[in-house]
Every structure is written in structure tokens, then in C-alpha cells.
Homo-oligomer: A and B are copies of this chain.
Amino acid sequence: MVEAYHTSLIHKYQHGETAQTEDGVIVEQSVSLTVNGQVWLTFMCSPVDLEALAVGFLYNEKIISSMREVLDVRVCEHFDNVDIWLDRSVDEPRNWRRTSGCTGGYTTAVLDEIEPVPPDGLVLSPDHILGLIRSLFEAQDIYRKSGGVHSSALASTDGLIFQLEDVGRHNTLDKIAGRILIEGLQVDPKIILTTGRISSEMLQKAARFRASVLISRTSPTSMSVDLARRLGITLIGYARGHRFNVYAHPERVTL
């Protein structure tokens, strides 16, 4: 088993005092994704829930639309490769290749293909929203041991269903999509909570797996606000303590 964090000998300075001490450091691992025997790309990620990461990534990238298309998913013994075999030959897409080295975003061509999330009658109270984000913080496991990790959760109106952590915030949403598919979960409407900032890519991934509400403890970008308004997603930022901001589709919040 590969750990999501390990300990490292560091010098800790605090108020004039220095101590040499073991401290938790989040593990970042390069994990290649092999599709039908071809290496497609390398995830920089936390080496946990790798099947979900790979399946969810392919789903969020519209390579697959259900688990029926996946013949086999195997994480290699060193946790540095996920091997996926699909029920048909697929070409390595070019569009997601074009945006690396930045914040990992996509071309607008892909954005334009996403269908809006239809109205669903979901209405959340402020207490409900703040209770959900509190549950996310309480569920953080790796963060407590090492820091430096993002946490996201799938929730329904009844509360958190599962929560996942990764050194990359985008990866947490791929892992959520993958876990939904692998476990065949039917959750509708879906609420997504995350500790990470909401860039256009985060919004796009949430839209792809039909989240109605996306709640972050921190900020959205202008592009994610525009996309959320266009795609029918309730976008909530800075949810912490006794406050939050609603940036898009406030009709799902009793204000």
C-alpha cells in the first residue's frame, strides 16, 4: 500500500526556537494512465483511489459514458500506472492536450459541448449549506495528518455520501465521478463540496457529472461564475463558519 502522506525530517522554526522534527508531508506521485495499452498522460496526484481517478477522468473527458464501456481497470503494484481497457478502440483526444502547464484547463470547444443541468426543485437552507461544509472539514483525514491536500465530497440533501482527498483539486472531482460510476451510485440531485478554488475546469467537471450545487470553502473565478450561470448550477463560495456567497442560481437557496 502506498501512503497518501509520509513523514520527513525537517527544521521547524517558531518564535525564535528551532527544532529538528518529523513532520507529515503530502505524497505527490506521478501516475501514468494507460488506455488500451497506450500511455495517454501522467497524473500528478495522491496515490489513493486511483481506479476512481482514472475512470472519472475518462468520464469527465467524455471518453466514456458508463462503466459498461470499461472491461478492466488495474492499478499496478507500484501505484505508478493505471491500466484501463475499454470495449472499443479509442483515439487519444487532442483537445485536452492543449492546455497543460497552466492550471490544467480545457479548450472552450469542450465547454460548449456541456448540457445545462435542468431545474430539479432542490432548495437548501443556509444552515444546511453550512452544516454540509462543516461535515467536509470534519471528514478530512489526510489533511489532519499532513496538510497540503484538497478534499471534496458528494452529498445529497441527507448529508455527505463520501469524501475524497487529493493533492490536486481537479483530481478530487475526477475521483468523485469515478467513484459514482464504479459503485453505480444513483444520487440525484447531487451536491458537491470542495475545499478548493472553483476554476472553469472545476465547474466543467462538476457539470459533466450533473452536479446541481457546487459549494467551495474558497473563491470561484469569473469564468466559473459565467459557466455556472449558463449551465444552471448553483455556485456557492467562501462557505465557512457562518457565511457564504451565492454566485449563480440562488433559487436553490432559501435566502
Do the beta carbons of A255 and B13 come within 8 Å of each other? yes
Give, as a whole number of angstroms, the nearest-CB distance from A134 to chain B.
15
Report chain B residues within 8 Å CB of A45: 102-103
With beta carbons under 8 angstroms apart, the residue of B16, B199, B244 that contacts A28 is B199
Q: Is A230 an interface residue (CB 8 A)?
A: no
Do the beta carbons of B225 and A25 come within 8 Å of each other? yes
Most chain B CB inside 10 Å of its own CB: which residue of A5, A219, A247, A255: A219
Do the beta carbons of B148 and A218 come within 8 Å of each other? yes
Nearest B residue to A80 by beta-carbon distance?
B108
Separation of A39 and B26 alpha carbons in the complex (Å)? 36
Do the beta carbons of B219 and A102 come within 8 Å of each other? no
Separation of A247 and B20 alpha carbons in the complex (Å)? 10
Separation of A87 and B106 alpha carbons in the complex (Å)? 29
Select the stretch in A71-79, A91-99, A115-123, A181-189 that faces chain B.
A91-99
Question: CB-defined interface of A220-255 with B at 8 Å, one 1/0 digit per residue?
Answer: 111111000000000000100011111100100101
Do the beta carbons of A100 and B107 come within 8 Å of each other? no
8 A Cβ contacts from A169-185 to B: 170-171, 174
Do the beta carbons of B219 and A147 come within 8 Å of each other? yes
Report chain B residues within 8 Å CB of A25: 219-222, 225, 247
Q: Is A49 an interface residue (CB 8 A)?
A: no
Q: Is A167 an interface residue (CB 8 A)?
A: yes
Report chain B residues within 8 Å CB of A108: 30
Do the beta carbons of A224 and B170 come within 8 Å of each other? no
8 A Cβ contacts from A133-169 to B: 146-148, 167-168
**Residues of A participating in the B interface, judged by any CB pair closer than 8 Å:** 5-6, 8, 10-16, 18, 23, 25-30, 39-45, 57, 61, 96-108, 126, 146-148, 167-168, 170-171, 174, 197, 199-201, 218-225, 238, 242-247, 250, 253, 255
